[in-house]
Structure 1
Amino acid sequence: MSKLRFRISISLDGFVAGPHQSLQEPLGVGGEQLHEWVVPLEAWRRPHGLDGGVVNESTAVMEDELTNIGATIMGRNMFGGGPGPWDETNPWNGWWGRNPPFRHPVFVLTHHAREPLVMEGGTSFTFVTDGIENALDQARRAAGGKDVALAGGANAAQQYLKAGLVDEMQLHLAPILLGGGERLFDGVNTLHSLALVKTVAAPNVTHLKFARK
């Protein structure tokens, strides 16, 4: 069976987004600092259609993250568009423009039904209203034998971690303090046999990879 592979950037004080998240600051106050290590990377820029970029110790980590991924799961907050029912007159289609970098099926956890959204470049968004296990089942079928990425945010990650459904977890530990916001491990009391298997020190980040024993 394909693996569910979770990856996220996290601050030293355990937050994956800063306080006061909004349309203008989707990662909250100071939250963009979590990704300062990755945006300059060639391995990140290439899938986003950008030229140039640096190659360093994080490159192999990023390339490994993107290998053998056939589908992605994310929470409603990461997809965006605000809480509550979807705006049918001005529908929100995500943060990524017409050609999102996923290029495979994405399954969005939400309480509000919506028709699937097909984008350019092979990305589609399916909105799942009947729970995390159903979303994982759909994602595994869509992945066609490849693994499924769990992209966050904190609430979606907590649900899968609590249920013991995460097979691999990659934490990108940024050397910053956010002081508030969304804390990743709130309510998570066990890692369900996930153990640290690899540590990579890189500029402005330390990568911590966990896998089932």
Structure 2
Amino acid sequence: MTRIVADISVSLDGFVTGPDPGPVGGLGTGGDALHTWAFSDDPEDRRVLSEATARSGAVVLGRHLFDLVDGPNGWNDTVGYGAREVGKPAFVVVTSSPPESVRLTDLDWTFVTTGLPDAVTAARGRAEAASADSGKDLDVVLMGGGATVGSALDAGLADVLTLHLAPVVLGSGTPLFTGAVPRTLVQRRVTPTSTATHLTYDVLR
């Protein structure tokens, strides 16, 4: 069964970027510490990342995040989706206006201009098709940024919430939860490592 998985790294004080994120430093001041786990050699970090990448049938991201990963300092042949795993699922971008060109032309991009629910629907279709082709269940991953993941949770679009809790206090930045709609979560997995605590919850609707 294809699940909709909201997956994001977050600080202890609830921020998904540090202060002053921008086109060059997309994670803001100190924000790189949020993703230390993704480049760690800790065996449990590697397992968490590998399993998540392998289960990704399609990925949803917002336009701001797309501009970062497709920008000159973004993904390359060594570092991409899944960090060093460099997975290549279908990517669905929520945007009010598609870009005129794409740098990462070897990836499968779809741009949806009619809102997040339609983007999730499009991604589900791609993930289900990939599941049929591969013979195994693949998920839709809501990669971010924070506004995309937060909006999906508020709208009841996510089945699963996975947080990679980094041992850092950023003080300010982009918060994950701002006036969020109350949701009941059921804790399914806690994996502590040397660089993060990986938390997985089912989202009840």
- What's the TM-score bracket when you normalise by the shorter of the two chains? 0.7 to 0.9
- Assess if the C-alpha contact under 8 Å between 1:73 and 1:107 holds in 2: yes
- In structure 1, list runs of 5 or more residues that go unmatched: 41-53, 82-90
Matches within 5 A, 1:90-109: 92=71, 95-97=74-76, 100=80, 101-109=86-94
What is the deviation of 1:181?
Answer: 0.8
Structure 2 distance, partners of 1:163, 1:62, is: 26
Q: TM-score, normalised by structure 1?
A: 0.80
What is the deviation of 1:98?
Answer: 6.5
Matches within 5 A, 1:110-125: 110-114=95-99, 117=102, 119-120=105-106, 123-125=107-109
Q: Indicate how the Cα distance of structure 1 residues 55 and 202 shifts in structure 2: closer, same or farther if over 3 A, else same.
A: closer
Matches within 5 A, 1:1-213: 2-40=2-40, 54-80=41-67, 92=71, 95-97=74-76, 100=80, 101-114=86-99, 117=102, 119-120=105-106, 123-143=107-127, 144=129, 145=131, 146-191=138-183, 193-212=184-203
What is the deviation of 1:159?
Answer: 1.1
- Assess if the C-alpha contact under 8 Å between 1:116 and 1:125 holds in 2: no
Q: Indicate how the Cα distance of structure 1 residues 93 and 164 shifts in structure 2: closer, same or farther if over 3 A, else same.
A: farther
- Assess if the C-alpha contact under 8 Å between 2:186 and 2:202 holds in 1: yes
Q: Indicate how the Cα distance of structure 1 residues 155 and 114 shifts in structure 2: closer, same or farther if over 3 A, else same.
A: same
* Structure 1 residues 13-52: Cα deviation after superposition (integer angstroms, max 9, x where no partner): 0000011112221111110011112213xxxxxxxxxxxx
Structure 1 distance, partners of 2:20, 2:203, is: 35
Q: TM-score, normalised by structure 2?
A: 0.82
Structure 2 distance, partners of 1:94, 1:142, is: 28
- In structure 2, list runs of 5 or more residues that go unmatched: 81-85, 132-137
Counterpart amino acid of 1:130? Answer: T
